[in-house]
Structure 1
Amino acid sequence: MAMNSVNTNVGALVALQNLNATNSELSKTQSRINTGKKVASAKDDGATWAIAQSQRANSQSLNAVQDSLNRGRSVIDVAVAAGESVSDLLLSMKEKALAASDASLDSTSRAALNEDFKALRDQIGKAVSNADFNGTNLIKTGATSIQALANADGSSKLTVGAEVLALGGSIVTVAAAGTIGTVTTATAMITTVGTSITNVGASLARLGTKAKAFDLHSAFVTKLQDALDAGVGNLVDADLAKESAKLQALQTKQQLGVQALSIANQSSQSLLSLFRG
């Protein structure tokens, strides 16, 4: 049997507990709406928050990977541009050498062709020496391979080998002092330049393949970042449509709780009627 007491209002206590619980839920829902997240801090859900932080770290680390890939790709692009210029110069040099191999040329014409040839030859050196990006040159004498980051922990890398296109090397076999001043040297130079053209074409093909690999991997990293960010969103983002509906329900429940507490608090007043004559 329920006891009527002025010291302990059981109904008010129950109503207050329910109202406090409703207020707590309402506060959580409002926080989710304000932040857009159902897990905004470790105290909301420690395990989920820790997983989300780990994936955020991976996603942010991929920004460094993208930067590294972009730098590597730029180095390759500069090398390819210079290599294509070298190839074009070699084509012109072969034309000059072929013209100079004509024994019927007079000395004036031969000298003019030789000067043109030497100017083209020297331009190869300029193109090679100026093919720098951020202090890196893949085609100059002494060039070494470069590496770019390929994953978030740095354990995997993309490597691009050097393709030395300097004069007198294994690819451009035209000597730094090569000329076509005589029929004999011009005839020999035709073969030398032809070999160089073939070698440079192979070098550019290798660089082009690496450039494409960088492009493909950069596209993959972008997709991977998007997938990681979406995964983190699935873990921590709030369903705002659901939270909006819940907010309205809790606000109504809160109003009813306040009324219930008010009614419970009035019960002690009814005890006074028992003492009225």
Structure 2
Amino acid sequence: MTSILTNGGAISALQTLRSINSDMAETQGRVSSGLRVQTAADNAAYWSIATTMRSDNMALSAVSDSIGLGQAIADTAVAALDIVIESLDAMKWLFVSARSMEPIDITDFSYYGMTYFPEDGAEKRVDPKYAGSLLQKLDEDMLQHIMAINNAVDSASFNGVNLLAKPKDGVDLDDAFAATFVTGYAPGDIQTLRLKSRDFVLFNDNFANYGTIAEEDTNAGILDADINIMAQLPDGSTWWTSAPIDLFHSTFSDQPYDNVGINVIYDLEAVISMSGFTRDSAYEYFINEFEKKIQGVVSAQAKLGAVQHRLEMAGEFNSDLRNAYTSGIGRLVDADMSEESTRFKALETQQQLGIQALQIANSNSDNVVALFR
């Protein structure tokens, strides 16, 4: 049936063309955005999963930043410990050298220890019998290593975190943590790595605040405590001396200070003279105790090496996890550009054919007019 009021062919062609145009718009959106699921209306389930995974991926990105910060802090501390161990080894060599030298005839013990305690360190006068001796030259070299250790520890700070030095805050060493690093994230669970101060702190400014020797020893950092010598007397018996030998970090009136200006070897010789110890046994005990401090620092560096390795593994795992999340999101919502380009080309052809079909359908009315001529 031919009608001048209703053109069924044109209506059908127009409906087909509208459908093709709608498909083309959808395909164009996928091509321009690279996504086949852009909104919840496209696919509610996939959009919801992808949105959640993107949020988790952002959290993992923050974890990567935290791991990088932790690695920088650990690397800084390890670099400082390299200097500390190098200086400690040099100091041990100086003690061994001092043992083989002629002793000083010390009779005036007023030069032993510190003379006064300014805020920036310790000062002392020099015994005239000691001045210019070979032992004094060793002490001058010793002082440079002590200052190098102090400077290395003080400088081992990154972003305000120093694993090797604990400020005066009244917190017991066993209860304190040097740092806490975020190393991982699972939905609803942040994974952290906490470093105990006990394992890494060389100098603890709090150890001066305690009233008993036991409490001070408990809160002393690895290099804090002085050395009290137990050595042999000429009759073969052994005894403790109550005269401590300070090395790096000491206290006076409950205030910590760096031993700037200290003469360690002279003090060791003075303690030997005051106590009547045999020189060899005193040096042997002192060097053994000093070796314990070296091993304490070596242990701290070994633990830091383990921390570095753990952070490295955490960083690699976190990177792999982020890549897996990104790939998973892509599988859910990314458009297949090869498929979309082929589809777009086909829709272009269909659109052209649809326009031609509509033109043909619209020409039917001209045929009706021709019948009445």
Task: Give the TM-score normalised by the residue count of structure 1.
Answer: 0.90
Give the Cα–Cα distance (whole angstroms) in 1 for the partners of residues 340 and 47 of structure 2.
20
1:262 lines up with 2:359 in the alignment: yes
Query: In the alignment, what sits opposite 1:17?
Result: 15
1:187 Cα shift? 4.1
Q: Is the 8 A contact 1:180 1:189 kept in 2?
A: no
1:147 lines up with 2:180 in the alignment: yes
Higher-RCO chain (CA-CA 8 Å, sequence separation at least 6): 1
Letter of the 1:148 counterpart: F
Give CA-to-partner distance per residue, 1:61-100, whole Å, 9 cap, x none: 2121111111111111111111121111110111111111
Aligned residues: 274
SS at match of 1:238: coil
Q: Is the 8 A contact 2:83 2:148 kept in 1?
A: no
Give the Cα–Cα distance (whole angstroms) in 2 for the partners of residues 188 and 124 of structure 1.
23
Give the Cα–Cα distance (whole angstroms) in 1 for the partners of residues 158 and 14 of structure 2.
71
Q: Whose strand fraction is larger, Structure 1's or Structure 2's?
A: 2
SS at match of 2:100: coil
Query: In the alignment, what sits opposite 2:136?
Result: 111
1:180 lines up with 2:231 in the alignment: no
Q: 1:164 aligns with which of 201, 213, 219?
A: 201
Give the Cα–Cα distance (whole angstroms) in 2 for the partners of residues 145 and 123 of structure 1.
22
Q: Is the 8 A contact 2:60 2:318 kept in 1?
A: yes
Give the Cα–Cα distance (whole angstroms) in 2 for the partners of residues 141 and 272 of structure 1.
102
1:225 lines up with 2:326 in the alignment: no
SS at match of 2:181: strand
1:117 Cα shift? 1.9
SS at match of 1:6: coil
Distance 1:274 1:141, change over 3 A: closer
Give the Cα–Cα distance (whole angstroms) in 2 for the partners of residues 140 and 72 of structure 1.
17
Give the Cα–Cα distance (whole angstroms) in 2 for the partners of residues 4 and 198 of structure 1.
105
Give the Cα–Cα distance (whole angstroms) in 1 for the partners of residues 136 and 183 of structure 2.
53
Give the Cα–Cα distance (whole angstroms) in 2 for the partners of residues 189 and 78 of structure 1.
31
1:102 Cα shift? 1.9
Query: In the alignment, what sits opposite 2:333?
Result: 236
Distance 1:11 1:199, change over 3 A: same
Q: 1:66 aligns with which of 64, 72, 78?
A: 64
- Unaligned ranges ≥5, structure 2: 105-129, 168-175, 205-216, 227-245, 249-258, 273-278
Letter of the 1:109 counterpart: L
Q: Is the 8 A contact 2:184 2:314 kept in 1?
A: no
Give the Cα–Cα distance (whole angstroms) in 1 for the partners of residues 352 and 82 of structure 2.
77
Give the Cα–Cα distance (whole angstroms) in 2 for the partners of residues 253 and 271 of structure 1.
28
Q: Is the 8 A contact 1:138 1:144 kept in 2?
A: no
Query: In the alignment, what sits opposite 2:43?
Result: 45
1:210 Cα shift? 0.5
Give the Cα–Cα distance (whole angstroms) in 2 for the partners of residues 247 and 17 of structure 1.
19
Give CA-to-partner distance per residue, 1:159-181, whole Å, 9 cap, x none: 22231112894522553357122
Q: Quick check: 176-185 or 128-137, which moved more? A: 176-185
Task: Give the TM-score normalised by the residue count of structure 2.
Answer: 0.68
